[in-house]
Amino acid sequence: MRSLPNIIVTGTPGVGKTTTITQLLSLAQEEPQPLHLKHLSINDIVKDRQAHTGYDEELQTLIVDEEKLMDEVEKEIEDGAGSGGWIIDWHSTDGFAVRWVDLVVVLRCEETSVLFDRLSARGYKDAKVQENMDAEIFGVIAEEAKEGWGEDGSVVELQSIKVEDIEQNAASIYEWILNWVKDQKDKPTAT
């Protein structure tokens, strides 16, 4: 039984996942009783644990070995046995077991000119910028998440367009975590 929830913060590259998670973790540290939240960067796992089979030159990205990746993720979060508190940072929810994750936050940046600027600033080639812009316009990642976790509140979409959104989104995820913890404590224990 987890004492803290596991959360995926997902969305198209450039929507602000890493920035928002960094803000969330510092918010959790500022509290008188800090919550032990941990950033799980799937990008780092793909790179550091060789969970890839090659490199796609056109899309400037490693080709992910999904089976190996999910084995590594499961080792980190220990399936249902872990204590939770993982804030997972990845541009997809594909492959994650529904039971591992209590909340999916999909960050959105539907102001395409804003997203375009963020992706271009990373030096992405046109094909990669276009692929990501299309994914954002069609809401591909939000749809994928709802297929996995349903429409009952386990998937939330938050706008990440303006600078103020970062702080506000981090604060609302933090609030959700506090409520989750409270609900767990209030639950009658099985006898």
- Binding region for ATP: 14, 16-19, 122, 162
Q: Does 137 bind ligand ADP (CB under 6 A)?
A: no
Among 97, 98, 127, 163, binds ligand ADP (CB under 6 A): 163
Segment (H or E) for 130: helix 126-137
Query: Stretches 45-53, 59-67, 146-154, 162-170: which one binds ligand ADP (CB under 6 A)?
Result: 162-170
Nearest one of 117, 4, 126 to 60, comparing CA atoms: 126
Backbone angles phi, psi at 159, to 5 degrees: -75, 135
Which class for 142: exposed (0-12), middle (13-18), buried (19 or more C-beta within 10 A)? buried
Is the separation of the CB atoms in 29 and 121 below 8 Å?
no
Residues 9-28 touching ligand ADP, rule: CB under 6 A, are 11, 13-19
Among 2, 108, 118, 146, binds ligand ADP (CB under 6 A): 118
Q: Pseudo-torsion of CA 13, 28, 26, 105, nearest 10°?
A: 10
Q: Does 162 bind ligand ADP (CB under 6 A)?
A: yes
Least gap, CB of 102 to ligand ADP (angstroms): 21
Q: Are strands 86-89 and 38-41 parallel, antiparallel or unpaired?
A: parallel
Query: Stretches 30-38, 140-148, 155-163, 173-181: which one binds ligand ADP (CB under 6 A)?
Result: 155-163
Residues binding ligand ADP (CB under 6 A): 11, 13-19, 118, 160-163, 165-166
